[in-house]
Each structure stands twice: as structure tokens, then as C-alpha cells.
Amino acid sequence: MIEPDSHRFDTRALHAGQRPDPVTGSRAVPIHQTTSFVFDSVDHASGLFNLEISGHLYSRISNPTVAVLEERIASLEGGVGGVCTSSGQAAFHLALATILGAGDHVVASRNIYGGSHNMLNLTMPRFGITTTFVDPRDPQAFAEAIRPETRLVFAETLGNPGIEVLDIAAVADVAHGAGLPLAVDSTFATPYLIRPIEHGADIVIHSVTKFLGGHGVAIGGIVVDGGRFDWAADGKFPTLSEPYDGYHGITFTEEFGPAALSMRARAEGLRDFGGCMSPANAFYLLQGVETLPVRMARHVENTLRVIDMLDGHDAVSWISHPAHPSHPDHDLAKRLYPKGAGAILSFGVHGGRDAGRKFIEAVDLASHLANVGDAKTLVIHPGSTTHQQMSAEDLAAAGIGEELVRLSVGLEDPDDICDDLSRALRASQR
């Protein structure tokens, strides 16, 4: 059987969305450091403002450097398009604000990034949008939480903090059965490890800040539009299927079909909320995306080495990563993540909060900070930092034991990472 004519993944990581600049011959993506773009004529200007024609007019709405990153990640995910934002949080907000309105309801995994949990649990209710949180390992729980006013199902492909592996197809079936889209945050996985749209997800959100950017130098986010969901099927999504006064009565599904969500997110969401990505950040993040395949392969390889070392260490009480046989999703991860289930893991240090603190004080190579997905190995002990005010009971309820250490495995020589961790583990027991 013949194959579709397209470049393969690793090639697209380097090339998708860009051709050498025809005017200057510039091979690298130029940084279009400009706020605005000149119009050819009054007609051209009015056509752009009225969505009659497409093109760049003002960098809050679109910018050529940012557009390369958008098209590149959309291509890697197999989507129809993407809208980049100033941060991963802004991407999540943009997706919510484009689809939902007051009175709408979300069913979300309860094991998600704390910032996303705050947004759904504390902030969105002020705007009339409420959320029911469910166990991501139980597709039936999503089904049972769906109400007549539910408009979105949301989960992380690899969850927080336990690296819960989402059975994307099973949860997509639940969502689609109820006429709802499934949005996933795939930050921990990146399209190198899984392409959720191929498994049935409709929207993919990334904190590009993390592994996609890969070097810890710039904050950014993206909403990737899968383009498969029928927003017009039953009138549940009026922002997309009803006339919008903001552009003289345009109906996004009618004019743009599979691109309806991305077009509305840009034309309304970036226009009104303004959470755009800067061209300079897009450039930094593009440098990371170019090497995503080689970096992620090494991140995963190093992670397996670290798991091996921790497994044999006396000071370690447990390890949570899908590659470890003790992980509840070990088999599911083998099926969905043949290249590995990411480079973030947590483990328990014997001796609880105190030992956790000593461990963190003793690491030397690993950086103690609140981020993941850097080229460098990062480590944090929530019990003594981000979650220090919480009691042992509250921590346990959040799935974060006092003894939990979270690790984002970097690209250093794996022997050096293991030496550092194992020395710090010994120190934690003194």
C-alpha cells in the first residue's frame, strides 16, 4: 500500500511551518520583532480585520515567527492548527474561554497540574463555569459525572503527581458518546511520546515551557486543534456554531469547518484576552522543538537508568513511574507509550518530611526548583516547599506524601545523575 506524501516526524520537528525566507535566504526562522504589519491598501486592511482574508496585521493576533511554532507543533500533533499563548496556563484558559460560557460544566481528571486545578476549582466558578473532578483511571467516572450542562472533558495524558496514564481512547469514547469534546494537557508526554489526536482527543494543550522548549529559557503555551469534533452537531457550542457579532455575524463552523475552533480562539481569544506569545519566545521555543526527538529519547533513556538506581536504593520506599512494574498503569503505558512514558517521576524517601528536606539540601547536580522539562535534572520536595503549609493528612489527600520527591530527569550523563541522587539519598538517612 502506498504511503501518504508527507515528511516523517523527526523531519517535521525541524522543518514544518517554515521554508527559507525568500527575500533574505535566511535558513533559521527569523525573529519578526514587530508589533504590526503594513497593509497593501484600504481594501487589504478591511479584509484582514473582517476575516475575509488571512494574514498578519498585529502581533497580538498573529506573528510570522509565532506562526511557524504554531504550525510546527500542530503538524507534530497531527492537528489542523494551533494557537500559541504566553504560557501553558494561558493556553488552558484560551481553550476554556473559547468553548465555554457561564452555566457550563467541565468534567476533569482530579490528578492534574496544580495551576490547572486552581483554575477549574477556584477561578472559573467566579465566571459561572464549574467542574466535577474524577479519577482519571476510571472512564466510567467521567461518564457518571457528565450532566446536561457539561461541555468539556479534560485530563492530562500523563497526570500529576502520580504519572497517571490516561486511556485516551476510552475517555474520548465517553466524551464523544455524550456529544462532548475531549481536551488533554499533554505537556509531560510531548508529541514525540504520544499524539493524543490519533487516539481520539479533540484538543491538545501544552505548556511549551517544558519539554517542547526543553531548555528552561522561555514560558509559552499552545492550543492544538484536532479539527475532528463536530461543533455544530447539536447546538451545544454556540461560540462556534452561532453567528458572532464580533465579526458581523460570522459563524465559525459554517465558514471554517474543521478550523472553527482555532479561528475563533485567535480571532476572539487573542484579540480580547491578549495572551499572545512574543516572537522572541517563539524563536527560543522553536530551537527546542527542532531537537525534540533526540532529546526526548535521551530523557526517557536516562529516566530508565535513574529508576533502576532508585529501585535498588535502601533509602527509597517507593517509585512512581509507569516504567516501574509497581505502577498501576504499567501495562497501559507499555501499550500507549512504546517509546516510554516520559521523564518525570516521583519517589518516596524513607524518613518522611525531614528526610525529604535533607535529600533536597544534599543534591548537588540536580537543581532544586519548581519546574519540569528542562534539559537539566530538576528536583523538588513538595512537603518542604510548595506544599509546606499542608498537614500530613491534607498532603495525603492530594496524593502527595510527606516523603514524596519529584524528579524531572535531564540530559546529563546518567551516571552523574545517579551518583548525585544516590549520594543525596545516603545523606537523607543520616
Partner 1 sequence: MKFQVDDLTVNAATGAVSIERDEVADAPLVVLLHGAGMDRTVWSQQTRWLAHHDTRALAVDLPGHGGSEGPAITSIGELAAWTARLAEALGGPVHLVGHSMGAFIALEAAAATPDRIASVVLMGVGAAMPVHPDLQTAADADDPLAAALMAGWMHGPDQRFGLNPTPGMSMTGTSRAVIEACPPGVLGPDLAACAAYGGAVDAATVLTCPVTIILGTLDRMTPRKAAQPLLDAMPSATIVELPDSGHAPMMEEPGAVRRVLGDHLGRLAA
Ligand X SMILES: Cc1ncc(COP(=O)(O)O)c(C=O)c1O
Q: Where are the alpha helices (DSSP H) in 181-249?
A: 190-193, 238-241
C-alpha cell at 424: 543525596
> Residue 54 touches which of ligand X, partner 1, none (CB < 5 to 8 A by kind)?
partner 1
Under rule CB under 6 A, residue 89 binds ligand X? yes
**By the rule CB under 6 A, 207 interacts with ligand X:** yes
Q: Which stretch binds ligand X (CB under 6 A): 33-41, 87-95, 329-337, 383-391?
A: 87-95
Which cell numbers hold the place of 116?
Answer: 490547572
How far apart are alpha carbons 308 and 166 in whole angstroms?
Answer: 24
Minimum Å gap between C-beta 275 and partner 1 is: 14
Instruction: Give the span between the Cα atoms of 101 and 118, in whole angstroms.
Output: 18
Contact set for partner 1, span 54-113 (CB under 8 A): 54-56, 62-64, 66-68, 70-72, 74-75, 78-84
- Chosen residue from 130, 251, 287, 371 binding partner 1 by CB under 8 A: 251
| Per rule CB under 8 A, count of chain residues that contact partner 1 | 57
The least distance separating partner 1 from the CB of residue 48, rounded to whole angstroms, comes to 11
- Per-residue cell: 239: 461560540
For the chain, what is the radius of gyration of the CA atoms?
Answer: 22
CB of 234 to partner 1, least distance (A): 14
Q: Which does 16 bind (CB under 5 to 8 A by kind): partner 1, ligand X, none?
A: partner 1
Does residue 247 touch partner 1 according to CB under 8 A? yes
> Considering beta carbons, is residue 289 or 366 the nearer one to partner 1?
289
Q: 317 φ, ψ to 5°?
A: -90, -30
- Which residue pairs, CB below 8 angstroms and at least 24 apart, start in 112-117? 112/154, 112/155, 112/156, 112/159, 112/160, 112/185, 113/156, 113/160, 113/185, 113/187, 113/207, 114/160, 114/386, 115/88, 115/89, 116/89, 116/92, 116/156, 116/185
* Three-point CA angle 385, 388, 389, nearest 5°: 145
Would you mind telling me the total number of residues written for the chain in this entry? 430
Under 8 Å between Cβ of 215 and 245: no
* Closer residue to ligand X (CB): 79 or 161: 161
Determine the Cα–Cα distance for residues 9 and 19; give it in Å rounded to an integer: 17
Among 28, 45, 53, 396, binds partner 1 (CB under 8 A): 53
Q: Of 114, 115, 258, 352, which one interacts with partner 1 (CB under 8 A)?
A: 258
> Is 17 a binder of partner 1 (CB under 8 A)?
yes
Print the binding letters for residues 362-391 with ligand X: x by CB under 6 A, - otherwise: ----------x-------------------
Distance of CA 95 to the CA centre of its chain: 12
Rounded least distance, CB 6 to ligand X, Å: 29
Q: By three-state DSSP, how is residue 336 classified?
A: helix
> Which 104-143 positions form the footprint of ligand X (CB under 6 A)?
113, 115-116
Q: Which of 29, 153, 219, 336 binds ligand X (CB under 6 A)?
A: 219
In this chain, which stretch among 50-58, 123-131, 153-161, 203-211 interacts with partner 1, using CB under 8 A?
Answer: 50-58
Q: Which long-range contacts (CB under 8 A, 24 or more apart) does 165-168 make?
A: 165/322, 165/329, 165/332, 165/333, 165/336, 165/337, 165/341, 166/109, 166/136, 167/137, 167/139, 167/332, 167/336, 168/194, 168/196, 168/199, 168/200, 168/201, 168/336
* Cβ distance to partner 1 smaller for residue 51 or 169: 51
Rounded Cα distance, 417 and 217, in Å: 21
- Quick one: which segment of 147-155, 179-187, 208-216, 243-251 binds partner 1 (CB under 8 A)? 243-251
Which residue shows C-alpha cell 465559525? 252
Chain residues in the site for ligand X (CB under 6 A): 87-89, 113, 115-116, 156, 160, 185, 187-188, 207, 209, 219, 221, 372
Chain residues in the site for partner 1 (CB under 8 A): 1-2, 4-7, 15-19, 46-47, 50-56, 62-64, 66-68, 70-72, 74-75, 78-84, 226-228, 230, 232, 243, 247-251, 254-259, 262, 266
